[in-house]
Structure 1
Amino acid sequence: MYRTHNCGELSLKDIGKKVILSGWIQKIRNLGSLFFIDIRDYFGITQLIIYKKSVKKNISLGKEFIIQVKGKVVERLSKNYNIPTGEIEILVYHIDLLNSSLSPPFTIENQTDGNEEIRMIYRYLDIRRNPIKNNLMIRHNLALETRNFLSKNGFLEIETPVLINYTPEGARSFVVPSRTSPNKFYALAQSPQLFKQLLMIGGIDKYFQIVKCFRDEDSRSDRQIEFTQIDCEMSFVEVHDVLVFFEYFIKHIFKKIKNIQLNSFPCISYSEAIKMYGTDSPDIRFDMTFVELNDLVKREKINLLKTQELVIGIKIQKCHNIHDNDQINFFLKKIENKNFFWIKCLSNQTLPSSNINFLNEKNLKIFVKYFKALPGDLLFFSYGKKRKTREELGKIRLKIADFLNLKNSKTFQPLWITDLPLLEWEEQSKKYKSVHHPFTSPKEEDLHLLEKYPKNIRSKSYDLIINGIEIGSGSIRIHNKNIQNIIFKHLGLSQKEIEHRFGFFIKAFEYGVPPHGGIAFGLDRLVNLLEGNKNIKNFIAFPKNNYGKDIMTNAPSFLEKDKLKELHIR
Structure 2
Amino acid sequence: MAESMRGLHRTHRCTEVSRGNVGENVTVMGWVQKRRNLGSLVFVDLRDRSGLLQIVFDEKDVGSEGFEKAGTLRNEYVIAVEGAVEVRSGAVNENLKTGDIEIRAKSLRILSEALTPPFPIEEECSTKEELRLKYRYLDLRRPNLQRNLAVKSRVAILSRNFMQEQGFLEVETPILVKSTPEGARDYLVPSRIHPGNFYALPQSPQIYKQLLMCSGFDRYFQIARCFRDEDLRADRQPEFTQMDMELSFADVDDVIEVNEKLLAYLMKEICDVEVKLPIRRMTYAEAMDRFGSDKPDLRFGMELHDVSGAVRDCGFAVFRNALEAGGSVRGLTVKGQAGMPRKKIDSLVEFAKTYGAKGLAYLAVQEDGSYKSSFAKFMTEDELAALVKAMDGEPGDLLLFAADKNKVVFDSLGALRVELAKRLEMIPENTFEFVWITEFPQFEYSEEEQRFVAMHHPFTMPMDEDLPLLDTDRGAVRAKAYDIVLNGCEIGGGSVRIHQSDVQAKMFECLGFSKEEAEERFGFLMNAFKYGVPPHAGLAYGLDRLVMLMTGADNIREVIAFPKVKDASCLMSGAPGRVDEVQLTELKIAVSEQDGAGE
TM superposition score category, shorter chain reference:
over 0.9
What amino acid does structure 1 have at the position aligned with 2:161? N
* Matching residue within 72, 82, 102 for 2:95: 82
Q: Does 1:415 align with 2:435?
A: yes
1:185-196 matches, cutoff 5 A: 185-196=198-209
Q: Match for residue 97 of structure 1?
A: 110
Q: Does 1:25 align with 2:12?
A: no
C-alpha distance in structure 2 between counterparts of 1:430 and 1:331, whole Å:
33
Between 193-202 and 30-39, report the one with greater CA deviation.
30-39
C-alpha distance in structure 1 between counterparts of 2:520 and 2:213, whole Å:
22
What amino acid does structure 2 have at the position aligned with 1:82? N
* Matching residue within 331, 339, 345 for 1:313: 331
Q: Match for residue 56 of structure 1?
A: 65
Q: Does 1:66 align with 2:78?
A: yes
- TM-score, length basis structure 1: 0.94
Give the drift of 1:303: 4.3
Q: Match for residue 402 of structure 1?
A: 422
* Matching residue within 284, 289, 304 for 1:270: 284
Between 412-421 and 197-206, report the one with greater CA deviation.
412-421
**1:2/1:22 contact within 8 Å kept:** no
Give the drift of 1:469: 0.9
Give the drift of 1:332: 4.7
What amino acid does structure 2 have at the position aligned with 1:503? G
**1:341/1:356 contact within 8 Å kept:** no
Indicate how the Cα distance of structure 1 residues 414 and 47 shifts in structure 2: closer, same or farther if over 3 A, else same.
same
Q: Does 1:3 align with 2:10?
A: yes
**2:51/2:143 contact within 8 Å kept:** no
Q: Match for residue 52 of structure 2?
A: 45
- TM-score, length basis structure 2: 0.90
**2:300/2:427 contact within 8 Å kept:** yes
Give the drift of 1:38: 1.0
Q: Match for residue 530 of structure 2?
A: 510
C-alpha distance in structure 2 between counterparts of 1:114 and 1:18, whole Å:
39
* Matching residue within 530, 533, 546 for 1:526: 546
Q: Does 1:539 align with 2:548?
A: no
What does the per-residue CA deviation read over 1:334-369, in whole Å, with 9 as the maximum and x for residues that have no partner? 443455323333432233234543235444333334
Indicate how the Cα distance of structure 1 residues 333 and 339 shifts in structure 2: closer, same or farther if over 3 A, else same.
closer
Q: Match for residue 133 of structure 2?
A: 120
Indicate how the Cα distance of structure 1 residues 232 and 338 shifts in structure 2: closer, same or farther if over 3 A, else same.
same
What does the per-residue CA deviation read over 1:197-218, in whole Å, with 9 as the maximum and x for residues that have no partner? 0111111111111111011112
Indicate how the Cα distance of structure 1 residues 186 and 124 shifts in structure 2: closer, same or farther if over 3 A, else same.
same
Indicate how the Cα distance of structure 1 residues 117 and 327 shifts in structure 2: closer, same or farther if over 3 A, else same.
closer
What amino acid does structure 1 have at the position aligned with 2:27? I
**Aligned to 1:32, what secondary structure does the other structure show?**
coil
* Matching residue within 161, 165, 175 for 2:188: 175
Q: Match for residue 238 of structure 2?
A: 225
Q: Match for residue 4 of structure 2?
A: none
**1:331/1:403 contact within 8 Å kept:** no
What amino acid does structure 1 have at the position aligned with 2:333? K
Give the drift of 1:136: 0.6
Indicate how the Cα distance of structure 1 residues 247 and 302 shifts in structure 2: closer, same or farther if over 3 A, else same.
farther
Q: Match for residue 143 of structure 1?
A: 156
Give the number of equivalent residue pairs.
568
Gaps of 5+ in 1: none
C-alpha distance in structure 2 between counterparts of 1:369 and 1:110, whole Å:
50
Q: Match for residue 594 of structure 2?
A: none
C-alpha distance in structure 2 between counterparts of 1:394 and 1:315, whole Å:
13
What amino acid does structure 1 have at the position aligned with 2:261? Y
Gaps of 5+ in 2: 1-7, 591-599
**Aligned to 1:29, what secondary structure does the other structure show?**
strand
Q: Match for residue 121 of structure 2?
A: 108
C-alpha distance in structure 2 between counterparts of 1:334 and 1:478, whole Å:
40
What amino acid does structure 2 have at the position aligned with 1:456? A
Between 301-310 and 72-81, report the one with greater CA deviation.
301-310
Q: Match for residue 554 of structure 1?
A: 574
Q: Match for residue 399 of structure 2?
A: 379
**1:314/1:380 contact within 8 Å kept:** yes
* Matching residue within 245, 249, 254 for 1:241: 254
C-alpha distance in structure 2 between counterparts of 1:358 and 1:81, whole Å:
65
* Matching residue within 251, 257, 264 for 1:251: 264
Between 329-338 and 39-48, report the one with greater CA deviation.
329-338
What amino acid does structure 1 have at the position aligned with 2:18? S
What does the per-residue CA deviation read over 1:24-72, in whole Å, with 9 as the maximum and x for residues that have no partner? 1111111223211111122222111112462424433211111112222
Give the drift of 1:219: 1.9
Q: Match for residue 487 of structure 1?
A: 507
C-alpha distance in structure 2 between counterparts of 1:114 and 1:376, whole Å:
42
**2:459/2:504 contact within 8 Å kept:** yes
**2:158/2:266 contact within 8 Å kept:** yes
C-alpha distance in structure 1 between counterparts of 2:187 and 2:44, whole Å:
49
C-alpha distance in structure 2 between counterparts of 1:338 and 1:111, whole Å:
40
C-alpha distance in structure 1 between counterparts of 2:454 and 2:164, whole Å:
32
**2:25/2:83 contact within 8 Å kept:** yes
* Matching residue within 455, 458, 466 for 1:435: 455
Give the drift of 1:324: 5.8
**1:105/1:114 contact within 8 Å kept:** no
Q: Match for residue 177 of structure 2?
A: 164
Give the drift of 1:370: 4.0
**1:549/1:556 contact within 8 Å kept:** yes
Q: Does 1:216 align with 2:229?
A: yes
Indicate how the Cα distance of structure 1 residues 431 and 568 shifts in structure 2: closer, same or farther if over 3 A, else same.
same
C-alpha distance in structure 2 between counterparts of 1:347 and 1:105, whole Å:
55
C-alpha distance in structure 1 between counterparts of 2:365 and 2:167, whole Å:
57
C-alpha distance in structure 2 between counterparts of 1:258 and 1:13, whole Å:
28
Indicate how the Cα distance of structure 1 residues 327 and 548 shifts in structure 2: closer, same or farther if over 3 A, else same.
closer
Q: Match for residue 478 of structure 1?
A: 498
What amino acid does structure 2 have at the position aligned with 1:18? N
What amino acid does structure 2 have at the position aligned with 1:294? S
Between 305-314 and 326-335, report the one with greater CA deviation.
326-335
Give the drift of 1:429: 2.4
C-alpha distance in structure 1 between counterparts of 2:286 and 2:238, whole Å:
31
* Matching residue within 302, 308, 320 for 1:294: 308
Q: Match for residue 15 of structure 1?
A: 22
Q: Does 1:36 align with 2:8?
A: no
What amino acid does structure 2 have at the position aligned with 1:291? H
Give the drift of 1:333: 5.4
Give the drift of 1:231: 0.4
Give the drift of 1:514: 0.6
**1:33/1:52 contact within 8 Å kept:** yes
Between 375-384 and 518-527, report the one with greater CA deviation.
375-384
**1:68/1:95 contact within 8 Å kept:** yes
Q: Does 1:463 align with 2:477?
A: no
Give the drift of 1:102: 1.1
C-alpha distance in structure 2 between counterparts of 1:481 and 1:55, whole Å:
83
**1:431/1:491 contact within 8 Å kept:** yes
**Aligned to 2:378, what secondary structure does the other structure show?**
coil
Give the drift of 1:319: 4.5
**1:269/1:417 contact within 8 Å kept:** yes
